[in-house]
Amino acid sequence: MGAGTAAAGAALPAPGRAVVETASRAVSGRASQAVAYAYAAIGKPYVWGATGPSAFDCSGLTQAAWQAAGVSLPRTTYTQINAGHRVARSQLVPGDLVFFYSGISHVGLYIGGGQMIHAPHPGAPVRIAPIDEMPFAGASRPA
């Protein structure tokens, strides 16, 4: 799915927009900036170890998205889960980091409505996907 393409017919926000409309609610502030950055990365290739701006791996995408919002995150998935504070799945809001698999080996950026933007694996570009696509392991909210 390329930039400007929407899942389920929903319009994607323009990059840099002050408030990002998500599937569930409007987001403002730093989370809005992180989510807008992730939307702008849709369609860019997955490259292991890449931190943008032209390619990403999963934790490189989340790190770059939050860096665009002025928040520094650790580089790896298994260290990002300890950035900010943990949140329950039922309390997710857009901008939260969502983690998957035993051993915390994948991360995405929650955008609302049970969806995330993530860099899935080599050969698959950054895209929107349901968080139910993989075994959920936890979530954290960057400061």
In the chain, the amino acid numbered 2 is: G
Fold classification of 7-133 (topology level): endopeptidase fold (from Nostoc punctiforme) (3.90.1720)
Residue with tokens 């998500």: 22
Of 106, 110, 131, 142, which one is the catalytic site residue?
106
pLDDT digits (tens, 9 = 90+) for 2-36: 333 333 333 334 444 333 444 444 577 999 999 99
Of 20, 31, 36, 58, which one is the catalytic site residue?
58
| 58 noted as active-site residue | yes
pLDDT for the residue 26: 57
Report the alpha-carbon distance of residue 86 to residue 139 in Å, rounded.
Answer: 6
Name the band, by pLDDT with cuts 50, 70 and 90, for residue 124. very high
pLDDT for the residue 22: 45
Alpha-carbon separation of residue 54 from 4, 30, 83 (angstroms): 16, 22, 25
| 106 noted as active-site residue | yes
Name the band, by pLDDT with cuts 50, 70 and 90, for residue 143. confident
Q: Which helix (H) or strand (E) holds 96?
A: none
Span of 10-19, 115-124, 127-136 with lowest mean pLDDT? 10-19
Domain boundaries, the chain: 7-133
pLDDT at 136 over 60: yes
Span of 3-7, 114-118, 122-126, 131-135 with lowest mean pLDDT? 3-7
Q: Average the pLDDT over 84-113 and give the result.
A: 97
With a CB cutoff of 8 Å and minimum separation 6, the contacts of 56 are 41, 44, 45, 46, 47, 50, 64, 119, 126
Alpha-carbon separation of residue 57 from 49, 54, 95, 125 (angstroms): 6, 11, 17, 10
Higher model confidence: residue 23 or residue 103?
103
**26 half-sphere exposure, CB direction, 13 A CA radius:** 5
| 121 noted as active-site residue | no
Alpha-carbon separation of residue 30 from 48, 55, 80, 88, 95 (angstroms): 26, 22, 17, 20, 8
Of 73, 84, 118, 127, which one is the catalytic site residue?
118
pLDDT digits (tens, 9 = 90+) for 44-90: 999 999 999 999 999 999 999 999 999 999 999 999 999 999 999 99
